[in-house]
């Protein structure tokens, strides 16, 4: 035999917290979701569901309907759900044959669901809609048919399900409840389910088998002698085996003693010493499960690869059966994700290439520039890069760290240079924390400017130092008393406002303030030199009654106290 029929690869997509992992948990009877950071799946995982398990869950429905299943089972890829994971999901979508779009039937479509829909459209992937959390429909009785629910519950059910069908229709999809569909090539099936109670789960599995028969006929054949192609999920130390790879093989065959090329900054060419498969229903990332040794693994499968030289392997990168001839190809694939530039932007550190892709994607979508993106431990060099950026733009002089270790000396250096390290095990939380940090910094700056702008100050326009008359006026002044800051309103000796300080410069450099004795250039909005101010005029900061009330006499010098008295006198005049 030179070929075989592989399992269909099924990608599970949808919005955060809409229950993707819970649906799989019901099938594999595991509790992976409870161990995920924030309850959200953060990496692509793989679960192999053998045919006998599907038949067991479907309670004889396969035999009763006389359905022939020309496959060994189903391989699920459980992808993260936030819109930030577009690239990860595209990685899953690029190898997925079918998809389940999971939507909370009570919440309907969300932005992340929209993102999933765009992916499915882009790849033209056949899919079904799992309208999840049926158990939360008011009055719903688990494991009872729809006709046995109360009339009120049936109304609530119909309202939610048909609202969802309507939302999908607006987005160009012809959908209906699966029981109403005659031609599944033309209409997308919506299957109400509950990953918690199991309602609708056997129907969901049967629909996937039906789709596989409808759309994948002749497409699941894999040559037993073709070299394997796979994606590295994780690189980990395994007791007694050293560093190993968890990978998904999505094409071809891998055997013990095969030469393989493994993604790293300098791709590794090595030989397979052992192949370990998880037991049926075990999730590839689950540390509590046992593996069994095999000599050969065919697509589509999750597998643990044992070989030498895997320490520098890159999670999210490719692993191919082959030799040195593939090294340049692997380098190109890595170079499309990891990068460094001279741009002024944030530093991004992640644990896998897929996570890095996702981080850079959402940052780009938010208009946030990235200077360097890499995977692995955060080092002093990363902090030094951020400190260089901070000198030009302190809002971008930040390191964003997703699920990657921070070396102690790097953390100490960041503290010494006041470089923020924003760390989290949930990617979208990192982005939110960064945006919140920027807003707080900007608010603090606004308060400081506002506080400074309400300080008393007195300046004189220097003769022969009119550089521009208006829009904005640019003049040279000397500060006679007090502290002048950008944002301060200026008034003449008559108490009338004549402009607002836009910027302060000395020898070509911008200043946050100018103090008594400083000779500086002011850029002043709303001033026309020769009309409301002239050479040798003395100008004062305009202070409102609230500004004057906020001034603490204990914080003022004698000169400033005298200046406040002058300003009050002019305002009364």
The string of DSSP letters for 310-376 reads -TT--TTSEEEE--GGGHHHHHHHHHTTSEE-SSS-EEEEESSHHHHHHHHHHHHHTT--EEEEEES
pLDDT for the residue numbered 225 = 85
Domain boundaries, the chain: 3-220, 224-335, 339-450, 454-572
User: What ranges in 376-502 are assigned the alpha helix state H?
Assistant: 380-392, 408-416, 427-453
H or E element: which one contains 564?
Answer: helix 558-572
d(CA 74, CA 57): 13
d(CA 153, CA 159): 10
d(CA 96, CA 110): 23
Buried b or exposed e, range 438-449, using 16+ CB within 10 angstroms: beeeeeeeeeeb
Per-residue pLDDT of 413-449, as tens digits, reads 999 999 999 998 777 788 889 999 999 988 877 666 5
**What's the CATH fold of domain 339-450?**
Rossmann fold (3.40.50)
Report yes or no: 425 and 42 within 8 Å, Cβ to Cβ.
Answer: yes
- Judged on CB neighbours under 10 Å (0-12, 13-18, 19+), 508 is exposed
Mean pLDDT of 100-120: 83
The DSSP call for residue 227 is B
Report yes or no: 282 and 289 within 8 Å, Cβ to Cβ.
Answer: yes
Tokens for 568, please give them.
């009050």
277 phi/psi in degrees, rounded to 5: -110, 140
Query: Is it true that 224-335 and 454-572 share their CATH fold?
Result: yes
Question: Which residues have a Cβ under 8 Å from the Cβ of 222 and sit 6 or more positions away?
Answer: 3, 4, 5, 6, 251, 252, 253, 298, 299
Helical packing angle, 201-215 and 20-28, nearest 10°: 100
The string of DSSP letters for 472-535 reads SEEEEEEEEEEEE-TT-EEE-TTS-EEEEEEEEEETTEEES-EETT-EEEEEEET--BTTTB-T
Report yes or no: 498 and 509 within 8 Å, Cβ to Cβ.
Answer: no
Q: Which of 454, 465, 480, 457 is nearest to 547 (CA)?
A: 454
Per-residue pLDDT of 362-371, as tens digits, reads 788 789 999 9
3-220 — its CATH code? Answer: 3.40.50.300
Task: From the options 3.40.50.1010, 3.40.30.10, 2.40.30.10, 3.30.70.1890, give the CATH code of 454-572.
Answer: 2.40.30.10
> What's the whole-number average pLDDT of the chain?
85
Residue at token pair 């002239």: 534
The DSSP call for residue 191 is E
N residues, the chain: 573
Residue that wins the pLDDT comparison between 59 and 12: 12
Instruction: Please identify every residue annotated as catalytic.
Output: 82
Tokens for 507, please give them.
């020898």
H or E element: which one contains 559?
Answer: helix 558-572
**Inter-CA distances, 549 with 283, 446, 449, 486, 540, Å:** 66, 19, 17, 21, 17
Per-residue pLDDT of 488-537, as tens digits, reads 889 998 888 999 999 999 988 888 889 999 999 999 999 999 888 999 99
Per-residue pLDDT of 283-332, as tens digits, reads 666 666 677 899 999 888 889 999 999 999 988 888 999 999 999 999 98
Residue at token pair 């002058």: 566
224-335 — its CATH code? Answer: 2.40.30.10
pTM score above 0.85? no
Q: Which band of pLDDT confidence, cut at 50, 70 and 90, is reported for residue 39?
A: low
Strand partners, 247: 232, 303
186 phi/psi in degrees, rounded to 5: -105, -25
Report yes or no: 188 and 130 within 8 Å, Cβ to Cβ.
Answer: no
pLDDT for the residue numbered 239 = 85
Per-residue pLDDT of 128-145, as tens digits, reads 999 999 999 999 999 888
Question: Which residues have a Cβ under 8 Å from the Cβ of 528 and sit 6 or more positions away?
Answer: 469, 470, 473
Report yes or no: 427 and 85 within 8 Å, Cβ to Cβ.
Answer: yes
Q: Which band of pLDDT confidence, cut at 50, 70 and 90, is reported for residue 464?
A: very high
- Judged on CB neighbours under 10 Å (0-12, 13-18, 19+), 161 is buried
With a pLDDT cut of 90, the percent of the chain lying above it is 43
Tokens for 354, please give them.
């897929």
81-85, 227-231, 335-339, 478-482: least confidently modelled range:
81-85
pLDDT for the residue numbered 116 = 75
H or E element: which one contains 423?
Answer: strand 421-424
């Amino acid at each position: 035999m030179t070929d075989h029929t592989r399992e269909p690869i099924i990608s599970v997509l949808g919005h955060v917290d809409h229950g993707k992992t819970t649906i799989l948990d019901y099938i594999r009877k595991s509790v992976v979701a409870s161990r995920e950071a924030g309850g959200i799946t953060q990496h692509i995982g793989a679960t192999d569901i053998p045919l006998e398990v599907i038949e067991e869950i479907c309670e004889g429905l396969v035999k009763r309907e006389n359905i022939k299943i020309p496959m060994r089972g189903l391989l699920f890829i459980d992808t993260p759900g936030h819109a930030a994971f577009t690239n990860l999901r595209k990685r899953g979508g690029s190898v997925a044959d079918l998809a389940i779009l999971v939507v909370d039937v009570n919440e309907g479509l969300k932005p992340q669901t929209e993102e999933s829909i765009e992916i499915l459209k882009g790849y033209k992937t056949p899919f079904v809609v799992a309208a999840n959390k049926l158990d939360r429909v008011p009055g719903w009785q688990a494991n009872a048919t729809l006709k046995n629910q109360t009339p009120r519950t049936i109304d609530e059910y119909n309202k939610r399900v048909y609202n969802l069908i309507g939302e999908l229709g607006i987005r160009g999809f012809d959908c209906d409840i699966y029981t109403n569909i005659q031609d599944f090539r033309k209409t997308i099936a919506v299957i109400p389910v509950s990953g918690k109670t199991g309602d609708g789960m056997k129907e969901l599995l049967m629909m996937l088998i039906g789709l596989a028969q409808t759309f994948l006929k002749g497409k699941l054949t894999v040559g037993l002698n073709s070299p394997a192609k796979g994606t590295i999920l994780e690189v980990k130390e395994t007791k007694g085996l050293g560093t190993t790879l968890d990978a998904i093989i999505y094409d071809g065959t891998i055997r013990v003693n095969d030469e393989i090329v493994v993604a790293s900054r300098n791709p590794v060419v090595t030989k397979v010493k052992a192949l370990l498969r998880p037991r049926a229903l075990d999730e590839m990332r689950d540390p509590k499960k046992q593996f069994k040794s095999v000599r050969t693994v065919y697509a589509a499968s999750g597998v643990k690869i044992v070989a030498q030289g895997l320490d520098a392997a890159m999670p999210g990168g490719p692993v191919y059966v082959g030799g040195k001839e593939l090294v340049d190809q692997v380098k190109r694939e890595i170079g499309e994700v990891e990068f460094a530039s001279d741009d002024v932007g944030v530093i991004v550190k992640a644990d896998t290439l897929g996570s890095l892709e996702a981080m850079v994607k959402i940052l780009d979508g938010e208009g946030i520039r990235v200077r360097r993106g890499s995977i692995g431990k955060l080092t002093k060099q990363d902090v030094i890069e951020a400190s260089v950026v901070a000198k030009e733009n302190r809002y971008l002089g930040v390191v964003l760290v997703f699920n990657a270790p921070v070396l102690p000396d790097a953390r100490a250096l960041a503290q010494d240079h006041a470089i923020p390290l924003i760390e989290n095990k949930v990617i979208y939380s990192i982005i939110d924390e960064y945006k919140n940090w920027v807003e707080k910094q900007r608010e603090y700056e606004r308060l400081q400017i506002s506080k400074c702008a309400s300080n008393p100050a007195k300046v004189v326009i220097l003769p022969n130092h009119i550089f521009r008359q208006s829009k904005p006026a640019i003049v040279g002044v000397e500060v006679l008393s007090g502290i002048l800051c950008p944002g301060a309103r200026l008034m003449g000796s008559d108490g009338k406002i004549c402009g607002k300080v836009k910027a302060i410069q000395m020898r070509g450099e911008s200043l946050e303030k100018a103090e008594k004795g400083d000779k500086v250039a002011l850029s002043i909005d709303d001033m026309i030199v020769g009309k409301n101010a002239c050479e040798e005029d003395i100008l004062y900061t305009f202070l409102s009654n609230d500004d004057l009330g906020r001034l603490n006499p204990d914080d003022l010098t004698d000169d400033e106290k005298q200046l406040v008295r002058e300003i009050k006198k002019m305002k009364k005049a």
